[in-house]
Structure formats: C-alpha cells, structure tokens
Amino acid sequence: MASNRRALVTGASAGIGEAFARELARRGHDLVLTARRADRLEALAKELRERHAIEAIVAPLDLGRADGPEALVAALEAQGLSIDVLVNNAGYGVPGYFEDQPWSTHAAFIQVLMTAPSELVYRLLPAMKARGYGRILNIASLAGHVPGSAGHTLYAASKAYLIKFSQSLALECAGTGVHVTAVCPGFTRSEFHDVTGSRELVSKMPDFMWMDAPTVARQGLEAVEAGKAVYVNGRVNNAIKGLFRLLPDALALRMVARQGRRFRTGPRQG
C-alpha cells in the first residue's frame, strides 16, 4: 500500500482493530479511529502520531446508533477528508440462547455487525471508485465458514453475511481499483472473550488454535492488496474450514453441538 492514504478503522480501541490501526500507521497511512471508548482512542492516536509522524483523528462513535454511519461520513466530508481504506472491524458477541435476550439487544448487534459496515461501504465506495483506488476489509471470522452453534446465535450468521457481502462487492468492484476482502481469523488473543465473559472457557483451547492480533492485521492487509475476496488466517483455521466443507451437514452439526457443550457460556435459562 502506498503512503499518504487515509484509513478509517472501526472498533479501533482494542484487539484486532487496534492492531490494524498500528499496522496501517506503520505503513504510513493517516488514520481516522472510531469506537465508543474515547480515552483509549486518544491514547492510541497520540502514540501513533508521535511514533510514525502520521495524522490520526479520533471520532468516538457508537455504531449501534442507527444514524451513526451517516453522521460519521458526513463529518468526514465536512472536513474534506477522503477515505482510501475502510476496515470494518467493530463487533462483539451476545452470549446465551436467542430468546433469553431482549430484542433490543439483538437489534443493536445486527446494527453494529451487519448494518453499519454495509452502510459505511455504501457511503464510501462511490468516492473510492471515482478516485480509482480503495481497499475495503470486512473483518469476518472462521465462524462464518462452519455451522452455527447454540449460544452466540447471531454471531456466526453475521460473519457469514460479511463473507458473502464481500464476495459480491469484490465482483462488482473488479477493474475499478477497489479491492474488497473478508478477513476470517479464528481464535485471536484480544479482549473479545473478556467482554463476552467466555475467557475462562476459551482458555481451555490449545495454544496452536490461537493467533495474535498483529499477525491477523498484517495478513489481512496483504490479502486485500493481493485482491483476495476471502482470506482465512492461519493453516489450522484453513484446515478446519476445509474439513467442514467436506462433511455432510448433519455430521457437521453434530460435531459443532458436541464442541459447543464444552465451551458454552452459562447454563440454558428457562
């Protein structure tokens, strides 16, 4: 990637989003960082400005707001700031069975993980095409390639959506100078499992199943540069994806159900 381009990273305050911000800054990109935690964004922006001599703008925002993406893009346009690289990373998990949470919780989840990334692409893509350059990374998951499990009901579904969305966009953008990639990491060391309350359970996973966020970010940027519509991080994750593609659906579901019982967060309620 060339320097002096500007990247927008959502969910940039920690984990994979922070790692993307660091890697993009290392490559000379100016940044717009957004997440809910303004204090963390300010600290990260200050560090990256000083370390890499880039411009880093902080735009605290809750993408769970229906008007969030439109307001963010409007603010950027008002400042004359164009976005060359979009990293749709913001996300979280909702543990428990589907009916155990109020619909408002699920609606907010769908807004953050599906609607907001789609709208940000919709609002930023035309200018990317007009300039003949753009990079869009939708941070999906290995979960989008395997059968959904009980608990975290919408998580795998949202990631499968981002994968298919990215594939279609990549075809639509062919020849325009805009590359679109769904990045699909598996277990990644970050705060994600602390926020969902599953840290103790997933800590039972063997070390070889885990990746670190900086590696995920570096590989994701390399993949979008190479024009890969879908990129699964790591040999182990690729092997898991390949295995589930070969298995009959009924057998794959039984395997997921068996593993899910080992790592489910909390008992079934009701």
Residue by residue, pLDDT tens for the chain (270 residues) are 445 799 999 999 999 999 999 999 999 999 999 999 999 999 999 999 999 999 999 999 999 999 999 999 999 999 999 999 999 999 999 989 999 999 999 999 999 999 999 999 999 999 999 999 999 999 999 989 888 888 889 999 999 999 999 999 999 999 999 999 999 998 776 655 444 444 455 565 657 566 899 999 999 999 999 999 999 997 888 788 888 788 788 887 787 777 665 544 443 333
Give the separation between CA 142 and CA 160, rounded to whole angstroms: 9
Residue 37 within a domain = yes
Residue 1 within a domain = no
Domain region containing 62 = 6-263
CATH number of the domain that residue 183 is part of: 3.40.50.720
Residues in the chain: 270
- H or E segment to which residue 136 belongs: strand 134-139
Cα dihedral across residues 95, 42, 125, 19: positive or negative: negative
- Judge residue 80's burial from the number of C-beta atoms within 10 Å of its C-beta, 0-12 exposed, 13-18 middle, 19 or more buried: exposed
Residue 268 within a domain = no
Question: What's phi and psi for 266, nearest 5 deg?
Answer: 85, 160
What lies within 8 Å, CB to CB, of 57 at 6+ separation is: 30, 31, 32, 33, 45, 81
- Report pLDDT for 147: 83
Total count of domains within the chain: 1
Residue 89 within a domain = yes
Q: Which residues are catalytic?
A: 155
- Report pLDDT for 209: 62
Tell me the CA distances in angstroms from 234 to 108, 141, 156, 188, 229, one per residue in order.
31, 12, 19, 11, 16
Residue 73 within a domain = yes
- Report pLDDT for 211: 85
- Report pLDDT for 112: 98
pTM for the model stands at: 0.87
- H or E segment to which residue 260 belongs: helix 249-263
Give the DSSP per-residue string, 161-216. HHHHHHHHHHHHTTTTTEEEEEEE--EEESSHHHHHT-HHHHTTS-GGGEEEHHHH
Residue 270 within a domain = no
Query: Count of H helices and E strands in the chain?
Result: 11, 9
